[in-house]
Amino acid sequence: MAAPAMSKDNDSLADMLTALRQFTRRSPEPPAAPALQPVRDTAAPLTPEESAKALLAAINRFAGFRSTATLERKLGQVLRNVPGEEIQALLDRVERGAQQELIAIVEDLTNHETFFFRDTMQLDPIARDILPELIAYQAKHERHLRIWSAACATGEEAYTLAVMALDALCHAGHAKFDQQHGYRLLNGWKLDVFGSDISRQAIRIAKAATYQESSFGSFRQMPDGWRRVFVPIGNVSGRYGNDVTNMTLLPSVTAHVRFDTFNLMSRNPPVLDMDLVLCRNVLIYIDVALQPDAINMITRSLRKGGYFVPSLVDQINERQLRPRWINRCAFYEKR
Ligand SMILES: C[S@@+](CC[C@H](N)C(=O)[O-])C[C@H]1O[C@@H](n2cnc3c(N)ncnc32)[C@H](O)[C@@H]1O
């Protein structure tokens, strides 16, 4: 289970401090954006706690993050070491809509914890029930399976879904796998998996598709049998000076997956006609009041009969979605 994104350790707070100071010293000024609300209307300098609140409010408007007392306190501690005029310069830029600053702070506040085949309690019913149903539908329609991993972090979830979909297509007789060629789709079938995340750093890693085979990393819960889709691409020195193998996925898997940055607070979905959308381990970090808009935006990306899969703990009250219970997990079908 992911560690809470909003409780990063002191190291990352120190990184954030460095990032904040870089921004406050940067020039020239970014272009002005519409909202011109002043941060405060008195000449009195803000306390570090007030500054932290103002910064978190801007981040809430931009990325939907819910502010927590712990985060406010920690950010307040960080800001205590930054001269008042630097903080004020940063807040002024942020209030004028300077997105670069917000993006950089969001990078520091987000938790990109993820791994291949995460939460098999949800993935097993997807492999056994949901994907065969979606493939049966597409066999009578476009023969084109479209999947979106929304907030995919460093890409493991998107690649996992691609492998699961390819295997389901093999099982249904619409694809073939052999060790020499990898996967081959048959009879005009297409598969597109889109992975998106607000973090540019995470998307860069996802596109590179190179993962270290360390015990607590991306491969920590690999089910048996999945090694066949990975290829070793050399050894590197690990965190403890040990040799670690870099792995990538078969080209016949990566060929079906593409990535881009996308903020779940956006009004419109980046893709349409999706058969399946996963958005897991992220809504818990989004303000409860803003979650319905994100869920509605995701729902609009689905075709009728497509499925939305949030985390087990997420509360979904979207009238266009009907829950279907399998294995004590809810899968939300678009009406
Ligand atoms: C804990 S990871 C979850 C990764 C993957 N879905 C999983 O379950 O393994 C949460 C991801 O959500 C992303 N995120 C947070 N807020 C976001 C937003 N407003 N829009 C898009 N992505 C966001 C973070 O950058 C992070 O990579």
What is the residue extent of each domain of the chain? Answer: 10-109, 120-334
Mutate to test the pocket of ligand 1, among 59, 110, 203 (most ligand atoms within 8 A of CB): 110
- Asked whether 155 lines ligand 1 (CB < 6 A), one says no
Decide: 132 and 171 in contact? Cβ < 8 Å: yes
- Asked whether 161 lines ligand 1 (CB < 6 A), one says no
Average pLDDT over residues 20-33: 45
Mutate to test the pocket of ligand 1, among 197, 285, 329 (most ligand atoms within 8 A of CB): 197
Q: Residue 80's pLDDT is what?
A: 87
Q: Residue 75's pLDDT is what?
A: 81
Tell me the whole-structure pTM to 2 decimals. 0.87
Mutate to test the pocket of ligand 1, among 282, 309, 329 (most ligand atoms within 8 A of CB): 282
Long-range CB pairs of 294-298 (<8 Å, 24+ gap) are 294/64, 294/264, 294/265, 295/321, 296/320, 297/264, 297/266, 297/267, 297/268, 297/269, 298/148, 298/150, 298/264, 298/269
Q: Residue 15's pLDDT is what?
A: 58
Q: Residue 222's pLDDT is what?
A: 84
pLDDT band at 20 (very low <50, low <70, confident <90, very high): low
Asked if pLDDT for residue 206 goes beyond 60, the answer is yes
Decide: 252 and 182 in contact? Cβ < 8 Å: yes
Distance between Cα 260 and ligand 1 center (Å): 13
Average pLDDT over residues 193-212: 96
pLDDT band at 319 (very low <50, low <70, confident <90, very high): very high
pLDDT band at 2 (very low <50, low <70, confident <90, very high): very low
Distance between Cα 204 and ligand 1 center (Å): 14
Average pLDDT over residues 158-176: 98
- Asked whether 111 lines ligand 1 (CB < 6 A), one says yes
What is the residue-averaged pLDDT of the chain?
87
Average pLDDT over residues 207-227: 86
Q: In the 8-state DSSP scheme, what is residue 191?
A: E
Q: Tell me the CATH number for domain 120-334.
A: 3.40.50.150
Lowest mean pLDDT among 37-41, 138-142, 233-237: 37-41
- Asked whether 199 lines ligand 1 (CB < 6 A), one says yes
Q: H helices within the chain, ranges in order? A: 10-24, 48-63, 69-79, 84-95, 99-109, 120-125, 131-139, 156-171, 200-208, 251-254, 291-301
Asked if pLDDT for residue 309 goes beyond 50, the answer is yes
Tell me the pLDDT tens digit for each residue of 43-86: 677 888 888 889 899 999 999 999 888 878 878 888 888 888 88
